[in-house]
Chain A
Amino acid sequence: DGGITQSPKYLFRKEGQNVTLSCEQNLNHDAMYWYRQDPGQGLRLIYYSQIVNDFQKGDIAEGYSVSREKKESFPLTVTSAQKNPTAFYLCASRGPTGDSYNEQFFGPGTRLTVL
């Protein structure tokens, strides 16, 4: 099956800890994205990457870091510097697919809770 996988589905973190969220895609997409979703605020872009070994900050990058060592993988680290990390995190990828040029495909999400 082609698609995007995120793990874990649920993650609990103690204050002061760094945690890494996994995102893998087998769609052969070049672009990958990380979003944060909070109730009533829609999806906010954290980081995005157009190609391997390159990534850019989104609108709310503070307290987060990413890497893009492989085309298939785009892990997100939530650092202790992120003051309010409890949220639903969504990974997405995009590739030119016919008329849906800008369609982003989303993973199932990771719900992070800080204890």
Chain B
Amino acid sequence: QQQVKQSPQSLIVQKGGISIINCAYENTAFDYFPWYQQFPGKGPALLIAIRPDVSEKKEGRFTISFNKSAKQFSLHIMDSQPGDSATYFCAASIRNTGTASKLTFGTGTRLQVTL
């Protein structure tokens, strides 16, 4: 059972454009939603994360928009650059269990930013 659905599977954006990746979740107990960036042959690295008590979080060119009622969240990359070309994963977890905190990942979006 896939609890976090991510789309699109791949995305091509021109340099300077806006990249948008969407995720939807099913488990209403989730309360921590990170996005990870992965370059080929490397491990993922945390990009930005949000808790459901806010609807938006911005860090530089990266913004997470969160819609709790729709159980959806999205990553927006403004002014996309060729260096942003990577695979992006959304994830979700229950934050405050203290133990057995597991991330459930989406299937990933391969972003290519063209010149």
Pick from B43, B101, B108: contact of A102, CB below 8 A.
B101
Asked if B93 and A50 make an inter-chain contact with CB atoms under 8 angstroms apart, the answer reads: no
Chain A contact residues: helix, strand, loop or mixed? strand
**For B9, what are the chain A residues with a Cβ–Cβ distance below 8 Å?**
40
Of the candidates A45, A90, A92, A103, the one having the most CB atoms from chain B within 10 angstroms of its own CB is A103
Asked if A101 and B95 make an inter-chain contact with CB atoms under 8 angstroms apart, the answer reads: yes
A-B contact count (CB 8 A): 60
B115 interface hit (Cβ, 8 Å): no
A75 interface hit (Cβ, 8 Å): no
> In the assembled complex, how far is the CB of residue A24 from the closest CB belonging to chain B, in whole angstroms?
14
User: Number of B residues contacting the other chain (C-beta, 8 Å)?
Assistant: 25
Q: Chain B residues in contact with chain A, CB under 8 A?
A: 6, 9, 32, 34, 36, 41-46, 49, 89, 93, 95-96, 99-103, 105-108
Closest 6 CB pairs of A and B: A106-B43, A42-B107, A43-B105, A42-B105, A102-B32, A106-B44
**For A102, what are the chain B residues with a Cβ–Cβ distance below 8 Å?**
32, 34, 49, 93, 95, 101, 103
**For B100, what are the chain A residues with a Cβ–Cβ distance below 8 Å?**
48, 50, 56
Asked if B43 and A101 make an inter-chain contact with CB atoms under 8 angstroms apart, the answer reads: no
Other 10 A-B pairs with CB < 8 A, given A100-B49, A102-B95? A4-B43, A33-B102, A42-B108, A44-B105, A48-B102, A50-B99, A90-B43, A101-B32, A106-B43, A108-B41
A85 interface hit (Cβ, 8 Å): no
